Amino acid sequence: MRTAQPSRAPPAARPDPTHPARLDAEEAHRVSQNRPAAVIVLAAGEGTRMRSATPKVLHAIGGRTLLGHAMTAARSLDPDHLVVVVRHGRDRVAPHVVEVDPKALVADQDEIKGTGRAVRCGLNVLPPGLTGTVVVTYGDVPLLSGATLGDLLVAHTASGAAATVLTATVDDPTGYGRVIRADDGTVLGIVEHKDADEGQRAVREINSGIYAFDAEVLASALARVGTDNVQGEVYLTDVLGIARADGLTVSARCTDDVWQVEGVNDRAQLAALGAELNRRVLRRAMVAGVTVRDPGTTWVDVQVDLEPDVTLLPGVQLLGRTRVRGGATVGPDTTLVDSEVGAGATVVRTQAVRAVIGDGVVVGPFAHLRPGTVLRAAEGADPPVPWPAGDRPATGSPAGGYADVTDEGATRS
């Protein structure tokens, strides 16, 4: 059983996943030879603790839904089949699956509850007699990367195990299922917190609920999993016990990045994971040559494209597929949505949606660019010169490189 995850910050001490070496490793995993037969993403949960009319997996951080993040990581493994299991909010979730990845398959979970049943429903839409590796993940773990899934897949293939579980070590494992290992390092089983004895509760290695399975073992074991438990559900963790009973090996891969296995159950966790994702996006940008004057007030979506030597001043939000070219300065207090900023441009206290700001153009302060606005530098204007603090001319004052704002889509407030 995948336990509900407490609303708390994971341990702070861990290697930085945005270090260039790790970014290179992530790219390498995208072309890994360890290609799974299928990835099944479980997205059927009700998400009652979100207190929302919107299905939990459709809430967004970093400009992408939780499910969108999960599907992007899953697709990076280049599986033969990508399946998303849905139930609650199906009328909204299923179309979103197709929008994110038209090749993905949608499987419907029936009235039988449990993660094991959800995976069984996912297998039902795949070709009969499927062989190879099946990876199981969730639609509410937005920071899980393709690189980490790739690590799990490589470890599973190398070990020759029937099943491999992704685990993490935390300072406070309260509420999580504990991973119990044998002397040889293989997994004996997973014990839920409420069922664990004092010795087992001292174990700090927890189950993430993310697995790699041999497809034939998975199908055979699920056929033998019942609902004889307090919750009356089909538990995916029971597959591990069945595999062990059949004399097969169950292994584990421990990640050193606990954030990646943190799920979203409520709005507080949504905010915490959103902030951590933004920190990673900004760290990646700064490593690549972008100046971020105040990371605490700067928000950049995952699909934003920033070239080296861009400067972001405090209070900037870059959303959607915004692109900012080298040498441009954005901010302070600027929000750009699906917009393009040219090389060397300056955008001050501006809100723009689907606008194009040309090379060397200076916009703002207090500008509003409507969708479709295209601004180019005035004919024959000198290149813009940085103004000393406090000496920038008022809006509309003539200055080299200021935009000739004649487009009907551009207004000032």
Active-site residues, by number, are 49
Look up residue 234 and give its amino acid: V
Q: Is 163 exposed, middle or buried (0-12, 13-18, 19+ CB in 10 A)?
A: buried
Report the DSSP pairing between strands 60-61 and 64-65. Answer: antiparallel
Q: Under a CB-based contact definition with an 8 Å cutoff, are residues 67 and 85 in contact?
A: no
Q: Under a CB-based contact definition with an 8 Å cutoff, are residues 138 and 5 in contact?
A: no
In the β-sheet with 305-306, what is the strand arrangement from edge to edge?
305-306, 323-324, 340-341, 356-357, 374-375
**Strands annotated E in 161-204:** 163-169, 178-181, 187-191
What secondary structure letter does DSSP report for 293?
S
Peptide bond into 365 cis (omega under 30): yes
Contacts of 404 (CB under 8 A, 6+ apart): 375, 376, 377, 378, 379
Task: Tell me the C-alpha distance between 339 and 351, whole Å.
Answer: 10
Task: Tell me the C-alpha distance between 405 and 413, whole Å.
Answer: 14
Q: Under a CB-based contact definition with an 8 Å cutoff, are residues 74 and 29 in contact?
A: no
Residue recorded with tokens 């290609």 = 35
Nearest to 116 by CA among 227, 215, 278: 227
Residue recorded with tokens 């290149």 = 383
What secondary structure letter does DSSP report for 51?
-
Contacts of 151 (CB under 8 A, 6+ apart): 29, 253, 255
